[in-house]
Structure 1
Amino acid sequence: MTMLNVRRQSTLKAPAVCAGIELHGGNHTRLVMRPAPIGTGLVFIRTDIKDRDNRIKVIPESVCNVRNCTTIANAAGVTVSTIEHLLAALAAAGIDNLYLELDGKELPALDGSAEPFLKLIEQVGVLRQEAARRYVEVLKPIEVKRGDAYARILPASKLSLSVSIDFEDEAIGQQKVEIVPNVRAFRERIAAARTFARLHEVAALQAAGLSKGGSFDNAIIVDGDKVLNPEGLRFADEFVRHKALDLLGDLYLGGPILGRVETHASGHGLNHDLLMTLFAHADAWRFVSLMEKSGKTSPETLSSAPDLLQSMSA
């Protein structure tokens, strides 16, 4: 199964639950993923918030912070942080509609990768729903840059990622990965890749009130040419694989995409800039569904909407 083959919307067959420590906040949180009807989209519900609107739609306009993780918020100022690993797993599994009940500000880090989320999804099963899935088809190239870093998206018949990084740290160095992130490739190649930090960054992160829950249990720590985790790496190029995981999750804020995405030295900020720049150009994309005609999968235009917020909130 590839992402291109998923023509219908999907949700989970049953609720799925996980809990653990927040990577940045350090608190214990619990996530319950509940099936949702056709057209719901992905919606976080902060169950610990009772005095104001506690629902946050997973759409690009909800993003309020991209420092070290992706954070979304609603108009009432209610936030949810570190959503990218879960979104990557949902993207690979082709999940469109879910209520995501969370009892704190940040998702549990679990092991710092997307693998535990994917396993949960696969354990409860995916339910295909009786409605066409809406894709974002890229119609012309879009690129954003910050110094030597860049992110670009090009027209293509399916989603593919080409991700490269270049770190001074010898333990990381230059790495590159290319992947068509269908559920099998995601499971085998990038789901288990963990988040990482350089040792000299950890103190600064903690001084800024971040990484309070970070440990060898949920992150790779690098010091120059050394990986400090006793068990070492899961992949020789685990760092760039995790960057691809983050990219997939960040892109999924815009829904499933048909396009080739190429990034170098990118992060959550540049990933989000790419998405917002794409949607700001009404002639660079359109909504399509994939309908089967004469045994072939071909795009059927649903709409071409210049006002993304109106279109995605409809």
Structure 2
Amino acid sequence: MQKLTTRQRTVAAPISFSGYGVHSGQPVTLTIKPAAADSGISISRELGDGRVTLPVPVHFSRVTRTTLCTTIDLGDSVSAATVEHVMSALSGMGVDNALITLDGSECPILDGSARPFAEAILQVGLEIQPAQRKFLKVIRAVTVRNNDAFAALEPYNGRALDLEIDFDSKVIGRQRMIFDWTPRRYFEDVSRARTFGFVRDAKILRQAGYALGSSLDNSITVDNDRILNPNGLRYEDEFVRHKLLDAIGDLALGGLPIWGRFRSYKGGHALNAHVLSGLFSSEANYEIVSAENLPLEFDAFEDQPAGLAVNHYLRSVR
């Protein structure tokens, strides 16, 4: 009999989210739907003329832009922007297969974190599927650089991230987080971390068509040495935690969860995409392995049906 921890998962029911794109400022509804085993995470768009694009894999080979967010090409001049937060939640919560549908050009920013997605996944529960989970096992280190910034994928007997940021800001400064993945740790320690920006950049960004939907409701806003959000930070080091959240979402575009260690210094969406490209540039860098051959660690709520321990857990952490 297969262990539950080695089997694939999809969401047990559709989940919808309505909000605004942080860059476009336009209203959008996103729905996560169950998907068949071995189908991975795919995405389609409902267009204004009633057409629906065919689902395509959410994959790094489709990345067209990494300025301030990750944007992927869906074909026929259609794209989907800011996919990293929903992808982070799906990967972080251990979802292998799902179909994402959008009725706009950008995923909703919601509260600026992945928590609304992660909490909804917990509430509907996960359907455990018959197929074995598969992982991308890093067997040879890959590093990409941009001046003093870098991102690396390295062999490691687990799923770990070691991420450091360094901003010329007294509010942020230099922060580092080392994270060994389990769904519970992701939910508690990463999912609530919000995106952030600087007042000094706001005018230029908006003139360039970015951050048109940004507000104190969905972004940590730094003005010189002050945080403008009335309730302050959710974590003392929320900035690096959000960068880690983004990295989890970007790395999910590898198509399978990564068994290895990701390290980054002053990284971002571009370096995250480049390190995946570097990993796949040679078959000597990785192999696809079955979960039954790996020492997987899961937390109790991850295997609970919706409505039982999950709802008690959600009440306890709010």
Q: Is the 8 A contact 1:6 1:94 kept in 2?
A: no
Residue 144 (structure 1) aligned with residue 144 (structure 2): yes
- Deviation by residue 1:264-283 (Cα, 9 ceiling, x = unmatched): 00000001101110111210
Q: Is the 8 A contact 1:165 1:176 kept in 2?
A: yes
Which residue in the other structure is 2:305 paired with? Answer: none
Which residue in the other structure is 1:284 paired with? Answer: 285
- The correspondence of residues 104-183 of structure 1 with structure 2, limited to 5 A, is 104-183=104-183
Aligned partner letter, 1:91: S
Q: Is the 8 A contact 2:24 2:213 kept in 1?
A: yes
Q: Is the 8 A contact 1:42 1:98 kept in 2?
A: yes
Aligned partner letter, 1:90: L
Q: Is the 8 A contact 1:150 1:265 kept in 2?
A: yes
Structure 1 residue 195 displacement after superposition: 0.2
Q: Distance in 1 between matches of 2:23 and 2:273?
A: 20
- Deviation by residue 1:107-131 (Cα, 9 ceiling, x = unmatched): 1100000000000100100111000
Structure 1 unaligned runs (5+)?
299-314
Sort the Cα spacing of 1:185 and 1:260 in 2 relative to 1 into closer, same or farther, 3 A. Answer: same
Give the TM-score normalised by the residue count of structure 2: 0.88
Which residue in the other structure is 1:72 paired with? Answer: 72
Q: Distance in 2 between matches of 1:198 and 1:5?
A: 45
Instruction: List, as ranges, runs of 4+ consecutive aligned residues in structure 1 with deviation greater than 4 Å.
Output: 49-52
Which residue in the other structure is 1:310 paired with? Answer: none
Aligned partner letter, 1:227: I
Structure 1 residue 51 displacement after superposition: 5.0
Aligned partner letter, 2:152: R
- Deviation by residue 1:25-75 (Cα, 9 ceiling, x = unmatched): 101111111111112211111012645744332111111110100011123
Q: Distance in 2 between matches of 1:52 and 1:101?
A: 9
Which residue in the other structure is 2:41 paired with? Answer: 42
Which residue in the other structure is 1:233 paired with? Answer: 233
Q: Distance in 2 between matches of 1:52 and 1:115?
A: 28
Q: Distance in 1 between matches of 2:135 and 2:230?
A: 42
Q: Distance in 1 between matches of 2:6 and 2:17?
A: 29
Q: Is the 8 A contact 2:150 2:264 kept in 1?
A: yes
Structure 1 residue 181 displacement after superposition: 2.4
Which residue in the other structure is 2:251 paired with? Answer: 251
Structure 1 residue 166 displacement after superposition: 0.5
Q: Distance in 2 between matches of 1:231 and 1:215?
A: 14
Aligned partner letter, 1:59: H
- The correspondence of residues 84-103 of structure 1 with structure 2, limited to 5 A, is 84-103=84-103
Q: Distance in 1 between matches of 2:96 and 2:117?
A: 15
Q: Distance in 2 between matches of 1:167 and 1:5?
A: 42
Structure 2 unaligned runs (5+)?
297-318
Q: Distance in 2 between matches of 1:209 and 1:56?
A: 26
- Deviation by residue 1:76-126 (Cα, 9 ceiling, x = unmatched): 121111111111111111111111111001111000000000001001001
Residue 17 (structure 1) aligned with residue 20 (structure 2): no
SS of alignment partner, residue 161 of structure 1: strand
**RMSD of the alignment, in Å?**
1.7
Identity score, percent: 38
Which residue in the other structure is 1:8 paired with? Answer: 7
Q: Distance in 1 between matches of 2:11 and 2:199?
A: 39
Which residue in the other structure is 1:307 paired with? Answer: none
Q: Distance in 2 between matches of 1:74 and 1:110?
A: 23
Q: Is the 8 A contact 1:43 1:99 kept in 2?
A: yes
Aligned partner letter, 1:87: M
Q: Is the 8 A contact 2:6 2:132 kept in 1?
A: yes
Sort the Cα spacing of 1:54 and 1:200 in 2 relative to 1 into closer, same or farther, 3 A. Answer: farther
Q: Distance in 2 between matches of 1:230 and 1:5?
A: 43
Structure 1 residue 297 displacement after superposition: 4.3
